[in-house]
Structure 1
């Protein structure tokens, strides 16, 4: 118990004095999203300034945790294609702060949840949870065209 208390006290002192920095996702704007983003596995999402988006070979089996999916692995059956491509629209919602930013991508052939913003200002990412959010398994898109 003493170790837990000591850790909490030292952490609080570190944050309070500025020695440790509290992580916050980068605060993006719509303009920061424009361009090409990649999952590093051959999938890309390209955002344009007019609110259009093109998805190519993006994993479309991102969520799906719960009783109805417990008997299958996260990739689904071997012969099932879980990649999607198509054109659609996107919107950015800054929310009430850096933690509540959301990017909504709507492509008819894909069934994405909203995307969260993460990483750093110099290398922002868009991510969704793979399965149970408590597992922190993420599907991540990174800028591929130089970024903001």
Structure 2
């Protein structure tokens, strides 16, 4: 006897069973937590652009994540279950009434179909790309929750009762916590052993820096080979008297620039100490009568270099990035 047929007489309606909804939501919340942990490990070799060096707001952010993170994950899990997993379960039940096959298999088929539909919505409304990858990820996000629903149904067949919702959520929380610890531990070990390399900014010469750099708000910085700089709506450090009133000003006109490879002007080095190993190469842009000298730190990669400035506080400052035209 097929599994899909054994439970059908007990579920003649199309309404969702509470335990099944909670199982789908709990499994989705658990996998989201693991995905976040994997994403965090993946940022070990990312350029932080000088942000987060302060400890106060970082500690507050971590505390908020620990307090409100589980609740947020639970809400996202419920939304995912209500919009993806359980509608697919309803469609699977309707399909087994008209055609042959296991309801469990049909559930996975409709999970994939709804994944493509929600991916199309995400691409159209959110501009996510590429569409194929988005569809694959959204469809895959419903597989484990669908298996969680299948487990609840099989458990009911075996014992005659469904698992309690509280027990489902507790087990999901414990499983996700253990998986996150393993992912974080593996990332830490990989970082210490050199398997995961920390980010290293590119080393660019003055000749490589010469060219046109563009940023948000119409910002344009043209670095000429002879040390001349041409600016259009370019963010710049405000004058010392304006520091408390605004984070940056915008400059137009012409000025000069030079490459700093000794860390003398790097605002992220320790007390601007020359020779600080944490100091980074950058471009110092000087414009008369328009703010103070601005240090554009070199970031990105050799293939896709960037120039950036973090105005204001390191934890909550205004990050401005220029990319080569």
Q: Same fold (TM over 0.5)?
A: yes
2:282 pairs with 1:102: yes
TM-score (norm 2): 0.35
Pick from 183, 200, 203 the counterpart of residue 24 of structure 1.
200
**Cα RMSD after superposing both structures:** 3.2
Q: Give the strand-richer structure, 1 or 2.
A: 1
Q: Which runs of 5+ in 2 are unaligned?
A: 1-177, 263-274
Of stretches 17-26 and 33-42 in structure 1, the one that deviates more from structure 2 is 17-26
8 A Cα contact 2:305 2:323, kept in partner: yes
Q: CA deviation at 1:137?
A: 3.6
Task: Please say if residues 44 and 56 of structure 1, whose CA atoms lie closer than 8 Å, have aligned partners that are also in contact.
Answer: yes
Structure-2 separation of matches of 1:141 and 1:102 = 12
Q: CA separation in 1, counterparts of 2:283 and 2:216?
A: 19
- Calculate the TM-score normalised by the size of structure 1: 0.71
Question: Cα gap change, 1:57/1:115 in structure 2, threshold over 3 Å: closer, same or farther?
Answer: same
Residues 12-40 of structure 1: CA deviation (Å, up to 9, x unaligned):
42124443221111111111110000013
* 1:124-135 mapped onto 2 (5 Å cutoff): 124-135=305-316
The one of 256, 259, 262 equivalent to 1:92 is: 259
Q: Which residue of 54, 69, 72 corresponds with 2:230?
A: 54
Unmatched 5+ stretches in structure 1: 76-81
Q: Shift of the alpha carbon at 1:6?
A: 6.8
Larger radius of gyration: 2
Name the CA distance, whole Å, in 2 between partners of 1:136 and 1:57.
19
Bigger share in helix = 2
Structure 2 distance, partners of 1:102, 1:132, is 19
Moved over 2 A (4+): 5-13, 15-19, 59-64, 95-99, 134-137
SS in 2 for 1:104: strand
Q: Which residue of 1 aligns with 2:212?
A: 36
Is the Cα–Cα contact under 8 Å of residues 237 and 294 in structure 2 kept in the other structure?
no
